[in-house]
Amino acid sequence: MTNKNELDNDEALQERLKEIKNQKGIIGYILRSSNSAAVDLKDPQKIIDYAVLSSAVLDLSNNMTEKLQVGEVEKAVVESDETKLLSIKLGNNHLSIFMEQSVDHNKLCKELK
Amino acid sequence: MNREPYAISLNSALTEIKKTYPGIHHSFLFTNTGLIVAKDLETNEEVIQNIFESFDDLKEKTKTIGNINNFSVTGKNGKLFLSNVDDMYLVLATSKSVDESQINSITKIIIPTILKTVETLVSTHLQSKPEKKLIVDTISGFFAGDSVQIDKETLIDWTNTLDSDEIKKTKVTKEETSDSIDQVKIETFAGNSVLCKVKEITDPKLKVKNLIRIPEKICKSLVVKKGDQVLVKPML
């Protein structure tokens, strides 16, 4: 059963995500919990592509950390020429933020923790 | 591409890097087709293969954002870095406290410099040796024999290219038979090799450039089939 603290934390996280979403270079985010998901992307047509990518990043991170024995995943970052994906565990939630290459993902991590 | 010089140089480089940066626990390099180019002694090939398969799956799904240049993971007890280096992928598993600027030096300066140096050395070396990549065609049947067959033009090129002291002082013309080269060494990209007699292709329909006709039993020992590429080196 969800307690009040968790609800407060979730609400605070949603607030922070709204702020982050408006920052320059942020493409959008996918927030998954055990029983729901919140998606906010600038290009809604790409929801499926980004959801598949977010899930594949999580799978690869878990597989690599297990095989190379570096412990449970805290965060993962994927970088292509123009785009970056920050995948981070926040309590019971798993957050994927998509952004342009120029965005400082370490700064975002600090804002979220 | 003959990956042996790469493997030797990169294995040494990874060993030295590990000695210099004790925070690195695992290091290996694979191509975008999953071929392991170099690895440290601590990481077994099954682990690398498994990681490559997951990574390949991710690559398929990242088409929406383009090619992956870097992938990094922070775990509770350490960090992982997967970096694209000249169409290959370098993976480093490190302690959590590792200095990321050192990792950047390795992935962006040290390994690319080694690759460039080896590439230059290999291409210079190849220019002086007339090795050729040829496509396999099989010879079957009772009269297959033990000799491989190569087109006359390639045999003449080799005869002309090889050191005149070693072969002949006068250049061979296309009309002459290039009987200076008796044997060739055939190497597969998996590392199998065999030395065998060579003749020119007699069947006019098969006188195709860059083709090597190999008797079936030699194909079996080399583990190659029709259409595969092999590296062929003329021998005196």
Q: pLDDT tens, B204-227?
A: 777 777 889 999 999 998 999 999
**Tens digits of per-residue pLDDT, B101-150?**
999 999 999 988 988 888 787 666 555 557 888 999 998 887 778 899 99
Amino acid at B36: I
Please tell me if residue B57 touches chain A, with a CB cutoff of 8 Å: yes
Q: Distances from the Cα of A10 to the Cαs of A6, A34, A36, A96, in angstroms?
A: 6, 13, 12, 15
Domain spans of chain A, in order of start: 4-112
Chain A positions touching B72 (Cβ under 8 A) are 76-77
Chain B positions touching A71 (Cβ under 8 A) are 75-78
CATH of A4-112, one of 3.30.450.30, 3.30.360.10, 3.40.50.720, 3.40.50.150: 3.30.450.30
Q: Where are the alpha helices (DSSP H) in A1-113?
A: 4-21, 47-67, 105-112
> Minimal Cα distance from B92: which residue of A?
A68
Reported ipTM: the value is: 0.89
Choose among A76, A82, A85: nearest Cβ to B73. A76
- B21's CB contacts (< 8 A; 6+ apart) are B94, B98, B102, B106
Q: How far is B108 from chain A (nearest CA, A)?
A: 15
Q: How far is B232 from chain A (nearest CA, A)?
A: 39
pTM of full prediction above 0.90: no
